[in-house]
Structure 1
Amino acid sequence: MQNTRAASFRLYHFPLSPFSRKVRLSLAEKRIEVELVEERYWEPDHDFLRRNPAGKIPVLKVGNRHLAESAAICEYLEEIEPEPPLLPQSAEARYEVRRLVGWFDDKFYHEVTSKLLGERVHKKVMGGGYPDSANVKAGARAIKFHIDYMAWLLDQRRWLAGNELSLADFAAAAQLSCLDYISDVDWNRSETVKDWYAKIKSRPAFRSILADQLPGFPQPAHYADLDF
């Protein structure tokens, strides 16, 4: 097994990227020290494209290697630093974690985050014009379905994928925390989901997420409040 304590870690990220946040949470939960480098990935940068020709964040530099794709990075971290575990032991339980990571990385992101965060924040930051109200309305409708689905899962389990905290919880919290930064989560819709988020928000791994600041977009008062 690679000695992660001997390797240097640098994460190229953007503060309100849910995929960057998922990796940051995994690193923090496993107590792996990492240097954070904010990357304006939408601007032409040959150095960044050398790190990841796909032009996407996050990119994790480990020693002299550059690792891309957040799901693959998180599984890599699990293999080199298995404690504390974010993937369970059995094949069936691992499947459920991976299924839900895919749900939040793909379905939730495209139906909700890309429409709310993308229109309200990313367009302004990237100089993409005014928000598309149809997209915003579609995202606001879709998040209700996803919160209800999370509530259904949590009615049967302590955490989203089972009775132990897993990468599925971090994938979901990464998306929701970005939306919470712009006050786009109705926590009154489900007390169960709000309680789950309060638990995960209180973890030491979440501290750097709660400290994020994006110029021009001040944190709402409740964002870093553990008793929101």
Structure 2
Amino acid sequence: MIIYGGTLSPFVRKTVVFAIEKGVDFELVPAFGDMVPDGFREASPFGKIPALRDGDFTLADSTAVVTYIDTLNPEPNLIPTEAKARAKTVWFEEFADTIAFSCGGKVFFNRIVAPHILKRPGDAAVADEAERVEFPRLADYLESVAPAAGYLVEDRFTLADIAVATQFVSMRYGGCGLNPTTHPKAYGYVESILARPSFATLLEKERRTLAKLGAA
């Protein structure tokens, strides 16, 4: 199985962590911007990452890919089957992929990707406004739903935790991190998820990459 992309993308990070937690044997093939490896366009006609190749089967989009992996490998169960828990997990993934990314994408792109990877100025005003207007609502919401200890759904680790934590990583890289004083539950929750080996190993590699780019 091949996963195309790079884990500085929160969607690729989500997919890779999910695959690691599932114990899936896969190869991560770098794909980003002008980096277009053989087979990538077939797997992702619109250039979306992550993309997947499993034999002659190809697929793009993180939600589609994790659903495929979960169906092939039902244990450990990371997408609950009980109706309310499954619906909550879908909601938290949507919150992460759409609402949180609306803020995180602006912060990360304009403060990290544009100046350090694309070598062109980012729009500082867009990033600043996202941090000022959008981020506090995200932090307040997560503070209201985060457990004092444990996880978001069924008191166990699920896709909900992976999806939410990965977006807050990207915001933190852009200098927009949770404050442990004003949002102690949200901060503690995210840190506990990121301490899992599946996340911690990736984040260490990402920090080294950002340091080489002069973005750390």
State how far apart, in whole Å, the 2-side matches of 1:191 and 1:82 are: 34
State how far apart, in whole Å, the 2-side matches of 1:191 and 1:177 are: 16
- Measured after TM superposition, the shift of residue 15 of structure 1 is 2.8
Q: Mean alpha-carbon deviation: is it higher for 140-149 or for 153-162? A: 153-162
Q: Secondary structure at the match of 1:19?
A: helix
- Measured after TM superposition, the shift of residue 34 of structure 1 is 1.8
State how far apart, in whole Å, the 1-side matches of 2:79 and 2:93 are: 11
Give yes or no for the alignment of 1:145 onto 2:141: no
Q: Report the AA paired with residue 86 of structure 2.
A: R
Partner of 2:166: 174
Q: Secondary structure at the match of 1:172?
A: helix
State how far apart, in whole Å, the 2-side matches of 1:72 and 1:50 are: 16
Q: Report the AA paired with residue 198 of structure 1.
A: E
- Measured after TM superposition, the shift of residue 155 of structure 1 is 4.5
Partner of 2:26: 34
Q: Report the AA paired with residue 44 of structure 2.
A: N
Contact 2:147 2:189 in 1 (8 A): no
Contact 2:108 2:173 in 1 (8 A): no
Residue 81 of structure 2 is aligned with which of 81, 89, 102? 89
- Unaligned runs of at least 5 residues, structure 1: 1-8, 220-228
Determine what percentage of the aligned residue pairs are the same residue.
26
Give yes or no for the alignment of 1:216 onto 2:213: yes
Residue 41 of structure 2 is aligned with which of 16, 36, 49? 49
Q: Secondary structure at the match of 1:187?
A: coil
- Measured after TM superposition, the shift of residue 181 of structure 1 is 3.0
- Unaligned runs of at least 5 residues, structure 2: none
Contact 1:59 1:66 in 2 (8 A): yes
- Measured after TM superposition, the shift of residue 201 of structure 1 is 1.5
State how far apart, in whole Å, the 1-side matches of 2:25 and 2:74 are: 15
Q: Secondary structure at the match of 1:60?
A: strand
Runs of 4+ off more than 4 Å: 44-47
Q: Secondary structure at the match of 2:191?
A: helix
Partner of 1:17: 9
Deviations, residues 168-217 of structure 1 (Å, cap 9, x unaligned): 11111111122223432133231111211222122121133222223314
Deviations, residues 113-161 of structure 1 (Å, cap 9, x unaligned): 111001012222234x312122112221211211110111125884223
Q: Report the AA paired with residue 123 of structure 1.
A: A
RMSD: 2.1
Note closer, same or farther for the CA distance 1:94–1:71 as it changes in structure 2 (3 Å cut): same
Contact 1:60 1:73 in 2 (8 A): yes
Could you tell me the TM-score, scaled by structure 2's length?
0.87
State how far apart, in whole Å, the 2-side matches of 1:16 and 1:103 are: 19
Deviations, residues 9-49 of structure 1 (Å, cap 9, x unaligned): 22111231000000011011111122111112x22848532
State how far apart, in whole Å, the 2-side matches of 1:186 and 1:13 are: 27
Note closer, same or farther for the CA distance 1:195–1:14 as it changes in structure 2 (3 Å cut): same
State how far apart, in whole Å, the 2-side matches of 1:182 and 1:90 are: 36
